[in-house]
């Protein structure tokens, strides 16, 4: 089969959604007469049986132990295990011409032949190891019988003729003596249809795979339990133990925050709580609710995945990408997709970009679920993205700082009165002049004696104290040009401050020095 181009293929009902015609899940302690609850369908004659069996390593009888049987051989059929799985039927009696004939009667004598050994299908895998094994038998409409052990084919198809036995009881389980010896039988299911190898493998492994690329997180049984807890909580009042147990059930199914953050956990669980309430108000079945929960979980997981179309490297999926994925998943699990889908024959021969469809939701349910998720998630997508994908946490820390006590002020009793400048003294000296005044305020020393020269000493003595100190800093800054830039003004002001400070320090030291 050569397939080209992307198409939609309808998958079979997954094992997690199979509904048997009859089942007994608890472990059998003795032979149970179940009455006429199941038999071969007279029209199709196709059916399937499966169970989990445990055989002790020693003491297993050659004929095996009954799992399920309809009537007693040579009539009806028998599904048994030990030491391998087997399925036996009684062949219809065939007329056989006798070796001896009565000469006087001149008639041929016929006798009945016992059921032939070929009237059974026997597996090849040994089951007597003390462990639980999943065994199954599938009877096709044409009469071919196939045996499976732990989800794998255990025998070549054998052609048998299986007939209904409406007047015979359906017997379940081995005798009590075998149960005491360690034989166990549980999870027995009978289906009036043919199970596919994928379905049998799913039953054997307990798979939650839907066959469309999704695997359930919350089982339908858990959805039913959640609704029961919520109903008990509503009867007892809001915020009771039922509500806490329901949220604990969602957490146990792995529907919370995968990073274990407390606030994000509450946000995600609130979203799933709203979805469960919406599904119940829409009267969705437990199966449909479980599928919708998985679709929502897939969208939340996609929010953390790197975008394939964003221009910036490393950016997470956008709202457009998440909505397109939601639309694809919801339509792939609708009955509208399966109506026009092709039948899936071999999964290995379909293109990688093909869509696998499973009929779960009707079109009206698709519309209502889209409206709910649009309002609950996509209209607040940026908010959920900030909380779940890129959380912005602000932490305020209060610290204690030890401030040293203020220093003790100087003693005013030892202070000296500042002399006032002479009246009319003087002209304002600029920055350049202040530097000159500073340099000229000190007399030059004589090269021979090392003492100040007489003329300069007299000039220095004649200069008033205020002139020796030079102009104040405020006066100097006031003389700066107004058109200076910030940097130039800063440079000139720094120079003036240095000159003024140097002059004041030297004059102060001179005044304090002993005469």
Q: In terms of domains, do 119 and 167 share one?
A: yes
Q: How many CA atoms lie within 13 A of 421 on its CB side?
A: 13
Q: Are strands 342-343 and 8-10 parallel, antiparallel or unpaired?
A: parallel
Question: CB–CB of 358/11 below 8 Å?
Answer: yes
In a domain, residue 209? The reply is no
In a domain, residue 451? The reply is no
In 3-state terms, the chain is what percent helix, strand and coil (to 5)?
40, 15, 45
In a domain, residue 130? The reply is yes
Query: Which pLDDT score is estimated for 363?
Result: 95
**In Å, what is the CA distance from 87 to each residue of 31, 136, 247?**
18, 10, 46
Q: In terms of domains, do 472 and 433 share one?
A: yes
In a domain, residue 100? The reply is no
Q: Give the Cα separation of 216 and 95 in Å (integer).
A: 56
In a domain, residue 25? The reply is yes
In a domain, residue 409? The reply is no
Q: In terms of domains, do 155 and 236 share one?
A: no
Domain boundary among 194, 212, 239: 194
In a domain, residue 99? The reply is no
Q: In terms of domains, do 185 and 62 share one?
A: yes
For residue 207 the two structure tokens come to 């798979």
Query: Which pLDDT score is estimated for 442?
Result: 47
Q: In terms of domains, do 226 and 190 share one?
A: no
Query: Which pLDDT score is estimated for 20?
Result: 93
Query: Which pLDDT score is estimated for 91?
Result: 46
Question: CB–CB of 139/46 below 8 Å?
Answer: yes
User: Which CATH number does the domain housing residue 187 bear?
Assistant: 2.60.120.200
In a domain, residue 204? The reply is no
Structural domains counted in the chain: 3
Query: Which pLDDT score is estimated for 73?
Result: 66
Query: Which pLDDT score is estimated for 239?
Result: 55
Q: What is the CA radius of gyration of the chain?
A: 49
Q: In terms of domains, do 371 and 252 share one?
A: yes
Query: Which pLDDT score is estimated for 256?
Result: 86
Query: Which pLDDT score is estimated for 453?
Result: 53
Q: Can you give the residue range of the structural domain that contains 271?
A: 220-389
Q: In terms of domains, do 57 and 159 share one?
A: yes
pLDDT by residue (tens digit) across 235-280?
666 556 668 888 899 988 888 888 888 899 999 999 999 999 999 9
- Do you know the residue count of the chain? 515
Query: Which pLDDT score is estimated for 220?
Result: 94
Q: In terms of domains, do 181 and 239 share one?
A: no
Query: Which pLDDT score is estimated for 105?
Result: 44
Query: Which parts of the chain register pLDDT below 70?
Result: 1-5, 59-63, 73-74, 90-118, 235-242, 393, 421-473, 476-477, 480, 482-483, 514-515
Query: Which pLDDT score is estimated for 393?
Result: 67
Question: CB–CB of 84/138 below 8 Å?
Answer: no
Q: In terms of domains, do 242 and 373 share one?
A: yes
Residue of 250, 325, 332, 327 lying closest to 293 (CA atoms)? 250
Q: In terms of domains, do 26 and 61 share one?
A: yes
Query: Which pLDDT score is estimated for 451?
Result: 52
Residue of 25, 161, 141 lying closest to 87 (CA atoms)? 161
Q: In terms of domains, do 259 and 294 share one?
A: yes
Q: In terms of domains, do 324 and 378 share one?
A: yes
């Amino acid at each position: 089969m050569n397939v080209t181009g992307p198409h939609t293929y309808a998958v079979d009902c997954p094992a997690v959604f199979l509904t048997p015609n009859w089942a007994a899940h608890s472990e059998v302690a003795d032979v149970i007469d179940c009455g006429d609850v199941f038999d071969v369908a007279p029209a199709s004659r196709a059916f399937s049986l499966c169970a989990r069996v445990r055989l002790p390593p020693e003491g297993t009888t050659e004929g095996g132990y009954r799992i399920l049987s309809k009537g007693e051989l040579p009539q009806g059929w028998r599904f048994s295990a030990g030491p391998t799985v087997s399925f036996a039927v009684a062949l219809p009696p065939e007329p056989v011409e006798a070796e001896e004939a009565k000469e006087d009667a001149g008639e041929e004598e016929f006798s009945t032949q016992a059921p032939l050994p070929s009237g059974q299908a026997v597996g090849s895998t040994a089951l007597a190891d003390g462990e639980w094994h999943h065994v199954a038998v599938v009877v096709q409409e044409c009469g071919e019988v196939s045996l499976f052990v732990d989800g794998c084919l255990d025998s070549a198809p054998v052609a048998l003729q299986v007939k209904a036995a409406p007047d015979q009881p359906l017997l379940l389980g081995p005798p009590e003596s075998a149960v005491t010896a360690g034989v166990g039988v549980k999870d027995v299911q009978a289906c009036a249809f043919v199970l596919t190898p994928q379905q049998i493998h799913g039953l054997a492994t307990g798979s939650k795979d839907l066959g469309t690329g999704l695997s359930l997180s919350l089982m339908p049984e858990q959805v039913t339990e959640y609704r029961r807890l919520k109903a008990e909580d509503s009867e007892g009042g809001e915020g009771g133990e039922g509500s806490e147990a329901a949220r604990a059930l969602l957490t146990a199914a792995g529907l919370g925050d995968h990073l274990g953050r407390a606030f994000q956990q509450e946000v995600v669980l609130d979203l799933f709580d709203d979805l469960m309430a919406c599904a119940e108000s829409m009267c969705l079945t437990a199966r449909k609710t479980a599928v919708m929960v998985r679709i929502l979980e897939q969208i939340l997981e996609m929010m953390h995945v790197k975008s394939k179309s964003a221009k910036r490297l490393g950016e997470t999926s956008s709202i457009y990408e998440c909505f397109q994925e939601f639309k694809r998943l919801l339509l792939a699990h609708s009955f509208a997709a399966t109506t026009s889908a092709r039948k899936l024959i071999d999964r290995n021969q379909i293109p990688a970009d093909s869509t696998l469809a499973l009929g779960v939701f009707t079109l009206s349910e698709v519309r209502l679920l889209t409206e709910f998720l649009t309002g609950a998630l996509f209209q607040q997508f940026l908010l959920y993205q900030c909380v779940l994908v890129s959380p912005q946490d602000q932490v305020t820390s209060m610290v204690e700082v030890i401030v040293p006590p203020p220093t003790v002020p100087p003693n005013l009793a030892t202070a000296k009165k500042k002399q006032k400048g002479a009246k009319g003294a003087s002209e304002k000296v600029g920055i350049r002049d202040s530097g000159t005044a500073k340099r000229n305020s000190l007399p030059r020393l004589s090269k021979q004696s090392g003492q100040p020269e007489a003329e300069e000493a007299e000039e220095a003595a004649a200069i008033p104290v205020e002139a020796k100190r030079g102009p104040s800093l405020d006066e100097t800054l006031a003389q700066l040009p107004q058109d200076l830039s910030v940097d130039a003004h800063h440079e000139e002001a720094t120079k003036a401050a240095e000159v003024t400070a140097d002059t004041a320090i030297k004059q102060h030291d001179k005044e304090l020095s002993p005469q």
